[in-house]
Amino acid sequence: MDKPVIGWREWVALPQLGVEHIKAKIDTGARTSAIHAFDIEVTKKRGQDWVRFTIQPNQKNDLDQQRCTCPVKDIRVITNSGGSQERRIVIETQLTVGTLLWPIEITLTNRDQMGFRMLLGRAALTGRFFVDPGKSFCLKT
């Protein structure tokens, strides 16, 4: 089976979160995907943990915000790129890249100082794409 080629950055969508376009850095060195989130609140709903949070899909527009509510899938200790460990909430949501749609796990974290609002890690990519680090925006979402 031929796999599509993606670059080191791609436009993706998170339809269950109401995000039509967000620029994601493709990071095969990171196991887990992450998204910039703030105003994170965990609540109980029918005995299950749910999380409410705000995301800003556009790196250069702090006014463009999306408030989201999802079940909490897990809470994990993640080691970030600087080597620090952080407890993060994990959610599961649908991801669209090009014409492909599938569920992925994403951790919620402050990525305000990072170059991308979203990082797409290898767990979400495995078996689906070839990554060409010399290319960008290969697939249309």
**pLDDT confidence of residue 63:** 75
pLDDT tens-digit profile of 79-114?
Answer: 877 788 889 999 999 999 999 999 999 999 988 777
CA distance between the termini of the chain: 21
pLDDT of residue 1: 58
What is the pLDDT at residue 58? 82
pLDDT for the residue numbered 50: 97
Give the rounded distance of the alpha carbon of 58 from its chain centre.
13
Whether the pLDDT of residue 11 is over 80: the answer is: yes
| Residue 7 pLDDT | 95
Angle among Cα 108, 136, 115 to the nearest 5 degrees reads: 40
For tokens 């060195």, the residue is 29
Determine the Cα–Cα distance for residues 26 and 123; give it in Å rounded to an integer.
Answer: 11
Question: Please, what are the domains in the chain?
Answer: 5-34+74-131 (2.40.70.10)
Cα(127)–Cα(2) distance, integer angstroms: 10
Is-above-0.75 flag for pTM?
A: yes
Q: pLDDT value at position 82?
A: 76
For 27-37, the pLDDT digits (tens) are: 988 899 999 99
CA 8/CA 79 separation, integer angstroms: 21
Residues 6 or more apart whose CB falls under 8 angstroms from that of 43 comprise 49, 50, 51, 52
CB 11 within 8 A of CB 59: no
Q: What is the C-alpha separation between 99 and 140, in angstroms, rounded? A: 8
Span 38-84, pLDDT tens digits: 999 999 988 899 999 999 888 777 778 889 999 999 999 988 777 88
